[in-house]
Chains A and B, each alone.
Chain A
Amino acid sequence: GAVVSQHPSWVICKSGTSVKIECRSLDFQATTMFWYRQFPKQSLMLMATSNEGSKATYEQGVEKDKFLINHASLTLSTLTVTSAHPEDSSFYICSAVELGTGSSYNEQFFGPGTRLTVL
């Protein structure tokens, strides 16, 4: 159980175009999903916290108009990179927290990541 998928697994796009990345919790409902960005040989940097039915909370320095997040249901959150530029090329990883497990801490289950390359 507790499987998180991402689509696509990799994408190559031209500079100036927009790219949508989907994060799905396959066998559980997730009230909260997180979006991370990871550059080569670096750590995971939190971009935003996505809550179902409400606006995402962005970390300092992350442009909310460039990285659009929509958490439309308890199993789906999307990240859209608008007007992508080569510096946006990175590994984007989502994680999901299962609703109501009853534990004092709800583990984050990570998706497999999406490698974005902007030409």
Chain B
Amino acid sequence: GENVEQHPSTLSVQEGDSAVIKCTYSDSASNYFPWYKQELGKRPQLIIDIRSNVGEKKDQRIAVTLNKTAKHFSLHITETQPEDSAVYFCAASNVFGFGNEKLTFGTGTRLTIIP
């Protein structure tokens, strides 16, 4: 099955600086890579996702890059703000479009923005 590794496990960044979180996956058939933000005791929230036919996707201060050859993808947050502090999870899935494809999550990164 799929295995997703995520680094670093913790990350502290000065407010206004950029944060980068990296994930690697093992199954070359995976074609969908979402990123989730989870605040303490809350549900995961999808913040951005990328499909394997795209190398990069950006949404305001958040961007995701994908290297299919190396089987890794990264989350980039620019101009970080205190409200970006949370745990971030990457995930991978092999999607056929049936809706029952499962996600394999990374181990999570606790991001702390230092004011």
Which A residues have a C-beta under 8 Å from some C-beta of B?
Answer: 31-32, 34, 41-46, 49, 51, 91, 93, 97-99, 103-108, 110-113, 115
Contact yes or no, A34 B89, CB < 8 A: no
Q: Which of chain B's residues 54-109 have a Cβ closer than 8 Å to chain A?
A: 89, 93, 95, 97, 99-108
Contact yes or no, B44 A44, CB < 8 A: yes
Give B23 Cβ to nearest chain A Cβ, in Å: 12
**Which of the four size classes fits the interface of chain B?**
20 to 34
**Docked CA distance A91–B51 (Å):** 29
- B interface majority secondary structure: loop
Contacts of B99 in A (CB 8 A): 31-32, 97-99, 106
- Who on chain A is nearest to B45 by CB? A110
Contacts of A41 in B (CB 8 A): 108, 110
A-B contact pairs, 21 of them (CB 8 A): A31-B100, A34-B102, A43-B105, A44-B44, A44-B89, A46-B102, A46-B104, A49-B102, A93-B43, A93-B44, A97-B99, A99-B99, A104-B95, A105-B32, A105-B51, A105-B95, A105-B101, A108-B103, A110-B43, A111-B43, A113-B41
Q: Which 10 A-B pairs have the closest CB atoms?
A: A106-B99, A110-B43, A32-B100, A97-B99, A105-B95, A43-B105, A104-B97, A44-B105, A112-B43, A43-B107
Contacts of A45 in B (CB 8 A): 105
B46 at the interface (CB under 8 A from A): yes
Contact yes or no, A46 B103, CB < 8 A: yes
Which B residues have a C-beta under 8 Å from some C-beta of A?
Answer: 32, 34, 41-46, 51, 89, 93, 95, 97, 99-108, 110
Contacts of B43 in A (CB 8 A): 93, 110-113
**Docked CA distance A91–B42 (Å):** 10
Contacts of B103 in A (CB 8 A): 34, 46, 108
Give A2 Cβ to nearest chain B Cβ, in Å: 10
